[in-house]
Amino acid sequence: MAKTFSGKVIEDYPDNKRYPSALFLGWVAEQPFHVVPAYDSQNHCCHIITAYKPDLDHFESDYKTRR
């Protein structure tokens, strides 16, 4: 069964080199998760640039604010 996850944009990168992108924070099994997708509007395609579990060495406890 497919699951749907949602997230919130915490940083926006509209001027990225190839395609506009953003950093999203979502939660999977009650764990924080960051995803950076980039949108290719010409081909109507979304590319996942990176996905990772943020850590407290790099982010505050809200997982939104960089240290």
pLDDT band at 57; cut points 50, 70, 90: very high
pTM: 0.85
Whether residue 47 contacts residue 35, with contact meaning beta carbons closer than 8 Å, is answered with no
User: Would you list the domain boundaries of the chain?
Assistant: 7-52
Summarised one tens digit per residue, pLDDT across range 1-50 is: 566 667 899 999 999 989 999 999 999 888 999 999 999 999 999 999 99
37 has which bridge partners?
Answer: 48
Whole-angstrom CA distances from 41 to 7, 44, 64 are 21, 5, 27
Neighbours of 32 (CB within 10 A): 19
